[in-house]
Amino acid sequence: MAPDDKTKARLYRHLVESSPDIIYTLDPDGCFTFVGGASEELLGFKAEELLRQHFTSLIHPEDREKAQWHFNDRRTGKRATKGLEIRLMTKEGKEKPFDIKDLAVELNAFGMYEEADHTGAEGFLGTYGVARDITEQKRIQEALEKTCLELRETRDMLIRSEKLAAAGRLTAGIAHQILNPVNIISMRFQLLKRKANLPQDTVEVLAVCENQLNRITEIINDLRHLSKAHKMQVAPCDVNEIIENVIRLAAPYLEERAIRAQTRYGPDLPPVPLDKNRMEHVFLNIISNAADAMAEQKTRILSVTTKHTPSDHHVQIIISDTGTGIDEADMVKIFDPYFTTKKTGEHLGLGLFVAYNIINLHGGKIWVETDDGGGSSFFVELPRTGQDVPQTS
């Protein structure tokens, strides 16, 4: 026996009222004419509170233009809205994400139209739609994406550690051989310093040479210790002062190549816990690479900017050049050991690799970007507190 009309009505009403989704209809202007299902449970609004309200009053401000476009699209023809993701606002003003594409056949929103007249035109009567709450799925998806990101970072760290160990094993022997002539040169410098009545300019030149000789020794020691972390001599430093000293040391090299240096120092930079000598090595290496990149350029400008980023408690140093830039394919390899874009035999390809590890030991970050107008910019971020700087030995 077929159910009568009252029985059918009760059945349909029960189906709508017990639905875990929000079921609604809109008039041609976009105002609610019916709201049922889980609207009160999910949004906090009773059905009568939403009737005659425009549907955009429920939608997050950033999604309203998108939702309105889809509504207008249904006015102009029999077009269903599928795969639309929007955010709804609860009665308390909290965001609720809904992803209609997950409903598959259960659905989205589609237009209701009256039968065509003699001209073939169909009047737009409004919209019927269903919105399914996928808040929990979103949380799971975000947690999964976070876990995948952490796994990728761990994998990259392991790969870099393996490269670090391989580089250390290879360079240890080379570094040992280099130290022998360096030690001989160092002894000759000591003899020169003991000579009396040396002109003052000669004394100053010898001091600079000795300082750079000591730097060579430190660089070699860094290479010898590539496969293991070692203790740094960390103290509060003025980053502007370090940059100024590096520019002064690099001045003859830059002048020889007709490179103009520009500096923009951030005022009142907080002290940063650094190993001064190692950081000078980092900046000298980046500046040397920048100078080489500008060798064939007509305009040769080196720009160094320092600034404080209070929001994340870092000091940032930006070193830019007007060189040839870096190919996108080389971006992911630029800090790898033995990678170089220079001619074979001109460079070992360890400079940026060592710089990366020095920055990492300081708890900082380094990355490079190619500028739109040509050239490249290296960004170095260093924490201004000592809590992130590892003291390894």
Residues 29 and 170 in one domain: no
The overall average pLDDT reported for the chain is 78
What pLDDT, on a 0 to 100 scale, did the predictor assign at position 390? 45
What CATH code is carried by the domain that includes residue 368?
3.30.565.10
Note whether 243 and 273 are same-domain residues: yes
When pLDDT is averaged across residues 174-200 and rounded to a whole number, the result is 76
**Same domain as 310, residue 199:** no
In the chain, % of residues over pLDDT 70: 76
Pair 130, 84: CB distance under 8 Å = no
Residues 215 and 245 occupy one common structural domain: no
CB 214 within 8 A of CB 190: no
Cβ pair 247, 283 in contact under 8 A? no
162 and 276 inside one domain = no
Overall domain count for the chain:
3
62-89 per-position pLDDT tens digit: 888 888 888 887 777 667 777 677 778 8
CB contact at 8 A, 69 and 75: no
Strand positions, DSSP E, the chain:
22-26, 32-37, 85-89, 95-99, 109-113, 124-131, 235-237, 260-264, 272-274, 301-309, 314-320, 365-370, 376-383
Does 212 share its domain with 252? Answer: no
Find residue 85's DSSP bridge partners: 99
**Domain CATH code at residue 221:** 1.10.287
Is the residue at 218 inside a domain?
yes
Domain around 275: 229-393
The reply to whether 138 falls in a domain is no
Of 113 and 272, the one with more pLDDT: 272
Q: What is the pLDDT of residues 358-376, one digit of tens each?
A: 898 888 999 999 877 778 9
Q: Are residues 126 and 212 in the same domain?
A: no
Is residue 392 one of the residues assigned to a domain?
A: yes
Whether residue 54 is found in the same domain as residue 112: yes
Residue at which a domain ends, from 213, 228, 243: 228
Calculate mean pLDDT across residues 144-155: 80
Distance CA 341, CA 289 (A): 10
- Please identify, among 188, 206, 228, the residue that sits at the C-terminal boundary of a domain: 228
392 or 125, which is more confident? 125
Q: Both 90 and 105 in a single domain?
A: yes
The answer on 233 and 209 residing in a single domain is no
DSSP string, 163-228: HHHHHHHHHHHHHHHHHHHHHHHHHHHHHHHT-SS--HHHHHHHHHHHHHHHHHHHHHHHHHTTTS
Q: Which 3 state secondary structure label does DSSP give 374? A: coil
Q: Are residues 330 and 390 in the same domain?
A: yes
pLDDT digits (tens, 9 = 90+) for 259-315: 999 999 998 889 999 999 889 989 998 998 898 889 888 889 999 999 988 776 899
d(CA 84, CA 74): 14
Lowest mean pLDDT of 11-20, 27-36, 39-48, 319-328, name the range: 11-20
Q: Which of 204, 228, 252 is the last residue of a domain?
A: 228
Per-residue model confidence (pLDDT) at position 102: 33
Whether residue 189 is found in the same domain as residue 328: no
State the CATH number of the domain containing residue 111.
3.30.450.20
